Structure 1
Amino acid sequence: MTKKAILSICLIFLCLLGWNDHAIAGELSQRLTNFPHWEKLTSVQPAKGDLVYPEWMAGTWQVKSTLVDLAAPLAPDIVTPGFEGNRQQLNKPVSFLVRFIQSKITNSGLKILPKINNNSQNVVADRAFNSLNLARAYLGDETVLSVKVDPDLPNRQITFLRPERQLISIVTARATETNSDKKFITSEVFQQIFKGGSRPYLNSVESTTAYHQLSTTNPTIEADQVTAVYLSPQDPDYFQAASQPVALYRYRLEFYP
């Protein structure tokens, strides 16, 4: 598995990963509508604690993820690693397990609880479980060794890969948006650092996802997700790209109990 292939797959690791920082009303909804005409999101706030999800997302789910569209707005001048290879993933669903669990705040940070007891507690993603299952679904059990989330900093995680490679993901900012029709939209911005080559590879990624609870039970939740890749300041094409993403990936997610 090449570095380019690993990076292209790891872009969606945080889609299934705090306190809610609310975006300007409707901005995230409009952002998804405007695909692929994006620029950097400006209304996000620094990420504090973990991302809190609505209670109807609690539980363990079988997820079917399908890449339905992709775009390289600055091509052919600037194309991110792995973009062309990702065309092979179009309309090919990938399945894996995820779970959203109960937590509460303690003096030492988040404490995971076995089940939901009352409304004062929070539903958060089991980031290590979700990222490990997603990574292995794409890369295989032999390539992905483990995923470790910092117990004191839930926004920082490391994916350990063979041979002696690491993907470090750090959530730096986020925004959320809710409405009355069982829809929850979240956007997270994070930095990725890939170690294991001759020199580290860095980029910035935004993952914006609209989750919708359905009245039917099969699937129970569907989601529209767009992952945008931005160049890091260390990239020689950084100023040429300005605030525009160099790659956009759109996924359809279906959650089955």
Structure 2
Amino acid sequence: MLAIKVICNFCLVLLFVLGGSDAKAGELSERLANFPQWDKLTSVQPASGDLVYPEWMAGDWQVKSTLVDLAAPLAPDIVTPGFEGNRRQLNQPISFLVRFVKQRSPNLNLGLKVFSGIDKKSLILVADRAYNSLNLARAYLGDEAVLSVKTDPDSPNRQITFLRGERQLVSIVTARATETTSDDKFITTEAFQQLFKGGSVPYLNSVESTTAYHKLLTSIPSIEADQVTAVYLSPQDPDYFKAGSQPVALYRYRLEFFSIK
């Protein structure tokens, strides 16, 4: 049961990677508007580096995540494990903490900066991915079930969640795109592979998550977000060719960010 819960419920993704490619104008916005009519996104580029978030996302936030809709486009022929059980999560908010921090840009020329110091223009805003993922995983699975989260020091695109019972969830980002609008909205999408290890048989699937963050004009800094996570079958699945480019499960979340600093 833990294996199924980890794979199928660990869907909420706070995107941690660099938008190395801009999507075609309005493509990601249109994609969210067309839920649940989805196919695999093609205008993404191979993942590289870390995602630079807009300045208005800096700081520490209390996040409330609510599953507001879900769909199984290929049911009843193909349904992912745990999908029906996830209906119990509809309209049941889950809260956790996240933070976005400044770090030196990897493109910085240290030879020129060593004596003059690091100026503000050389800093970028990124997610504290290990902290965020640990809080997220424990919110979904419980404190005792999740031991730790580690990000590969050589690649922000690879992350391992260590679970009780010598189980691991390995997430590897493979592609992404971003879109910025003029109304304080920042949209990201990424595709990644999830491998669950530690059960009798390793379980692999493909996931794509698209999130539109929107800065609200309120006295206390607040952000709302619309997020859709799509689960696709991996090539190892016997129904892979039957599913084609269509997702086998879609989850839509409403995210609310409240500043705590």
Indicate the TM-score class for this superposition, using the shorter chain for normalisation.
over 0.9
- Structure 1: give runs of 5+ residues left out of the alignment: 109-115
Correspondence 1:52-201 to 2 at 5 A: 52-106=52-106, 118-201=120-203
% identical aligned pairs: 75
1:4 deviation in Å? 1.0
- Structure 2: give runs of 5+ residues left out of the alignment: 109-117
1:3 deviation in Å? 1.2
Instruction: After superposition, give the CA deviation of every residue in 1:96-118 in whole Å (9 maximum; x if it has no partner).
Output: 0000111123489xxxxxxx962
Correspondence 1:225-236 to 2 at 5 A: 225-236=227-238
Q: Counterpart of 1:210 in 2: which secondary structure?
A: strand
Q: Is the 8 A contact 2:20 2:45 kept in 1?
A: no
Between the aligned partners of 1:241 and 1:186, the Cα distance in structure 2 is 25
Correspondence 1:8-23 to 2 at 5 A: 8-12=8-12, 14-17=13-16, 18-23=18-23
In structure 2, which of residues 246, 249, 252 is the aligned counterpart of residue 250 of structure 1?
A: 252
1:197 deviation in Å? 1.0
Instruction: After superposition, give the CA deviation of every residue in 1:154-187 in whole Å (9 maximum; x if it has no partner).
Output: 0100000011100000000000000111000000
Q: Is the 8 A contact 1:16 1:98 kept in 2?
A: no
Q: Which amino acid aligns with 1:227?
A: T
Q: Which amino acid aligns with 2:81?
A: P
Q: Give RMSD over aligned pairs.
A: 1.6
Q: 1:25 to 1:234 in 2, by over 3 A?
A: same
Task: Please give the TM-score of this superposition, normalised by the length of structure 1.
Answer: 0.93
Find runs of 4+ consecutive structure 1 residues off by over 3 angstroms.
none
Task: Please give the TM-score of this superposition, normalised by the length of structure 2.
Answer: 0.92
Q: Is the 8 A contact 2:19 2:178 kept in 1?
A: no
Between the aligned partners of 1:69 and 1:80, the Cα distance in structure 2 is 16
1:15 deviation in Å? 2.4
Aligned residues: 249
Q: Which amino acid aligns with 1:128?
A: A
